[in-house]
Chains A and B, each alone.
Chain A
Amino acid sequence: MASTFTRMLSSRNTAALVATLGAGTLASGYLLSESGISAADKKKLYPPSADYPDLRKHNNCMASALTPAIYSHLRDKETPNNWTLDQCIQTGVDNPGHPFIKTVGMVAGDEESYEVFADIFNPVIKDRHNGYDPKIMKHPTDLDSSKITSGVFDDKYVLSSRVRTGRSIRGLMLPPACTRAERREVERVAVQALAGLKGDLSGRYYSLTDMTEKEQQQLIDQHFLFDKPVSPLLTASGMARDWPDARGIWHNNEKTFLIWINEEDHTRVISMEKGGNMKRVFDRFCRGLKEVERLIHERGWEFMWNEHLGYILTCPSNLGTGLRAGVHVRLPLLSKDPRFSKILDNLRLQKRGTGGVDTAAVGDVFDISNLDRLGMSEVELVQIVIDGVHYLIDCEKKLEKGQDIKVPAPIAQFRK
Chain B
Amino acid sequence: CVMGNDWMALSPCSKRNGFEYPDLSQHNNHMAKVLTPEMYANLRDKETSSGFGVDDVIQTGVDNPGHPFIMTVGCVAGDEETYEVFKDLLDPIIEDRHGGYKPTDKHKTDLNPENLQGGDDLDPNYVLSSRVRTGRSIRGFCLPPHCSRGERRAIENLAVEGLSSLEGEFKGKYYALKNMTEEEQQQLIDDHFLFDKPVSPLLLASGMARDWPDARGIWHNDDKTFLVWVNEEDHLRVISMQKGGNMREVFTRFCTGLTKIESLFKEKGHEFMWNEHLGYVLTCPSNLGTGLRGGVHVKLPNLSKHQSFGEILKKLRLQKRGTGGVDTAAVGGTFDISNADRLGFSEVELVQMVVDGVKLLVEMEKRLEAGQSIDDLMPEQK
Contacts and interface: CB of A to CB of B under 8 A. Distances in A.
Interface string A27-54: 0000001011111001000100011111
B153 A21 contact: yes
B70 interface: no
Contact of B214 (A54, A90, A179, A300): A54
Contact of A299 (B5, B13, B178): B5
B255 to A, nearest CB: 23
19 contacts: A14-B270, A18-B154, A36-B50, A37-B50, A37-B140, A38-B49, A54-B178, A57-B178, A80-B12, A90-B211, A94-B209, A170-B2, A171-B2, A180-B20, A181-B15, A181-B20, A236-B210, A242-B23, A299-B5
Contacts, number: 129
B80 interface: yes
A53 B8 contact: no
B19 A300 contact: no
B233 interface: no
A93 B140 contact: no
B10 interface: yes
B157 interface: yes
A266 to B, nearest CB: 14
Interface string B142-167: 10000011110110011000000000
Contacts of A52: 149
Contact of A6 (B48, B62, B269): B269
Contacts of A33: 49
B302 interface: no
> Helix, strand, loop or mixed for chain B's interface?
loop
B48 A46 contact: no
A67 interface: no
Contact of A171 (B10, B63, B154, B204): B10
Interface string B347-376: 000000000000000000000000000000
A11 interface: yes
Interface of B: 2-5, 8, 10, 12-13, 15-16, 19-23, 48-51, 55, 59, 62-63, 79-81, 84, 139-140, 142, 148-151, 153-154, 157-158, 178, 204-205, 209-212, 214, 268-271
Q: Which of A36, A243, A299, A300 has the most CB of B within 10 A?
A: A36
A13 interface: yes
A35 B49 contact: yes
Contacts of A209: 23
A181 B5 contact: no
A35 B50 CA distance: 10
Contacts of B62: 241-242
Given A18-B150, A33-B49, A170-B2, 11 more contacts: A13-B269, A21-B153, A37-B140, A46-B150, A50-B154, A236-B210, A241-B59, A242-B23, A242-B62, A245-B22, A300-B5
A81 interface: yes
Contacts of B50: 36-39, 42
A57 B179 CA distance: 11
B51 A39 contact: yes
Interface in A254-312: 299-302
A179 B12 CA distance: 11
B49 A37 contact: yes
A61 B289 CA distance: 45
A46 B151 CA distance: 8
A181 B19 contact: yes
> Helix, strand, loop or mixed for chain A's interface?
loop
A9 interface: yes
Nearest to B271: A6
A54 B214 CA distance: 7
Q: How large is the interface on A (under 10, 10 to 19, 20 to 34, 35 or more residues)?
A: 35 or more
A10 interface: yes
A12 interface: yes
A240 B19 contact: no
B140 A94 contact: no
Given A51-B148, A81-B12, A171-B10, A179 B55 contact: yes
A17 interface: yes
A231 interface: no
Contacts of A300: 2-5
Contacts of B22: 180, 242, 245
Given A21-B154, A241-B59, A82 B12 contact: yes
A352 interface: no
Given A7-B140, A53-B211, A184 B19 contact: yes
B210 A35 contact: no
A209 B26 CA distance: 10
B80 to A, nearest CB: 6
B149 A50 contact: yes
Contacts of B79: 36
Given A82-B12, A241-B62, A36 B150 contact: no
B12 A10 contact: no
Contacts of A184: 19
